[in-house]
Structure 1
Amino acid sequence: MSKNNSIPYDPKLKEYARALRKNSTLAEVLLWNNIKNGVLGAQFHTQVPLLNFIVDFYCHELMLAIEIDGRSHDFKYGYNEKKQGLLEQKGVRFLGFSDMEIKTDMANVMLTIADEVKKQVANTPLTFPKKERLKSKKLLEQLFLKGSAISAFPLKLLYLKTPLPKDVPFQVTLVAPKRNFKSAVKRNRIKRLLKEAYRLNKPAFFNNTKGQYALVILYLGKEMPSFSQIESGTKTLLTKLLKKISNE
């Protein structure tokens, strides 16, 4: 079994899931066009293997699945009921819509999904645990020597694809250079702003990437920033990083 954000899945399903994406039903295409790219504040993926099943749409961070009645991934009686029951035991939440609802009542479908996303976001802690903090001096040296750079003034991001501990997709260090801020109080204030902005915005990034990466986010400005400046720059950096990683 491979891992899919803490839920294992059968690797044999990957090819089948890829085929399903290429042969989406009209209802699946219509819904995907309305929920992709994190427009509801959550990143969904299509045809996601979980355990021995495939769900139509899934948000890893919220553990929220959306299913459309009309095409079963298996012709065995009771497949969908079994799938939902076993995945709910793993903590997955389900929203279900009929093929006809998607085609004729998209407005209410979107309201239902948006309400559920909002509720789950409110109930999902956006933490920054110790295992995601980059402490290795050796890895930091490699980042500064071999890492790729992305800028969104007043921030700069260095990233490097590298093996990390199991189930840790990213480790990050947040830096306020001492040469620009001699006061430790000011440096710590900036790092707290960086930490909060990263903590709040990382789900949209984590949900849409594969592999393991070490990151450094540096504040390049010479004046004390506001949180809105830091958060705007963080969103831009993560969006740019996501595009670059997707093209690798």
Structure 2
Amino acid sequence: MNYKPRIRGTTPEIEEAARRLRKNLTTAETHLWSALKNKQLEGLRFRRQHPVGNFILDFYCASCKLVVEVDGEIHNQQTDRDRARTDKLEEHGYKVLRFSNKQVLNDLPWVLEQIKAIISPP
């Protein structure tokens, strides 16, 4: 059996930070959220700024353990940190997709197609 335990245990500080981030989405996050909320994509429920362990996931679909991250310019300077975070999530069975702000703002249909491809492989 290939059991992957869940990452458990957030802290009150992480949960409070997630609440603050939910109230202050970036322009790109707002753009993507408008396409994901209310089960608009394949009938799946996505959460925004969802705390998991020590992480706050930009968007998360629990039914398929899919994490969608929207990366701004700052992520160009923290690729090692982002890779370690992605590796840790993948160790626990999460699928992680990363998109740049530019991709979300300039080609949302393509971004949504990439998400759909992960949700329902051919």
Contact (CA 8 Å) 1:59, 1:65: kept in 2 or not? Answer: yes
Aligned twin of 2:36? 35
Instruction: State the shift of 1:61 in Å.
Output: 1.4
Q: Is 1:61 the counterpart of 2:63 in the alignment?
A: yes
Deviations 1:103-123 (A, max 9, x none): 11111111111222223xx9x
Matches of 1:29 and 1:44 in 2, distance apart? 13
Matches within 5 A, 1:1-248: 6-11=6-11, 12-40=13-41, 41-70=43-72, 78-119=80-121
Deviation at 1:51, TM superposition (A): 1.9
Q: Could you list the per-position Cα deviations for residues 38-90 of structure 1 after superposition, in whole angstroms to 9, with x for gaps in the alignment?
A: 112211100111121111000111100000111769x9773211111111000
- Matched to 1:17, the amino acid is A
Residue deviations 1:176-198 (CA, integer Å, cap 9, x gap): xxxxxxxxxxxxxxxxxxxxxxx
CA distance in 2, matches of 1:117, 1:81: 22
Larger Rg over CA atoms? 1
Q: Matched residues in 2 for 1:44 and 1:29: separation?
A: 13
Normalized per residue, the structure richer in helix is 2
Secondary structure at 1:107 match in 2: helix
- Sort the Cα spacing of 1:76 and 1:15 in 2 relative to 1 into closer, same or farther, 3 A: farther
Write the deviation string for residues 154-181 of structure 1: whole angstroms up to 9, x where unpaired.
xxxxxxxxxxxxxxxxxxxxxxxxxxxx
Q: Does structure 2 conserve the Cα–Cα contact (< 8 Å) formed by 1:9 and 1:49? A: no
Question: In 2, are the aligned partners of 1:28 and 1:68 still within 8 Å (CA)?
Answer: yes
The residue identity in structure 2 corresponding to 1:85 is D
Identity level (%): 36
Structure 1, unaligned runs of 5 or more: 1-5, 123-248
Unaligned runs of 5+ in 2: 1-5
Greater RCO, 1 or 2 (C-alpha within 8 Å, sep 6+): 2
Please give the alpha-carbon distance, in whole angstroms, between the structure 2 residues aligned to 1:23 and 1:33: 14
The 3 A distance-change label for structure 1 pair 18 and 71 is: farther
The number of residues matched between the two structures is 115
> Is the Cα contact below 8 Å between 2:9 and 2:52 reproduced in 1?
yes
CA RMSD of aligned residues (A): 2.4
User: For residues 122-161 of structure 1, what are the alpha-carbon distances to aligned partners after superposition, in whole Å with 9 as ceiling and x for unaligned?
Assistant: 9xxxxxxxxxxxxxxxxxxxxxxxxxxxxxxxxxxxxxxx
Q: Which amino acid aligns with 1:47?
A: Q
Specify the SS of the correspondent of 2:22: helix
TM-score normalised according to structure 2 size: 0.83
Check the 8 A contact 2:89/2:96 in 1, yes or no.
no
Q: 1:108 to 1:76 in 2, by over 3 A?
A: closer
SS of 1:8's partner is coil
The AA in structure 1 aligned to 2:71 is: D
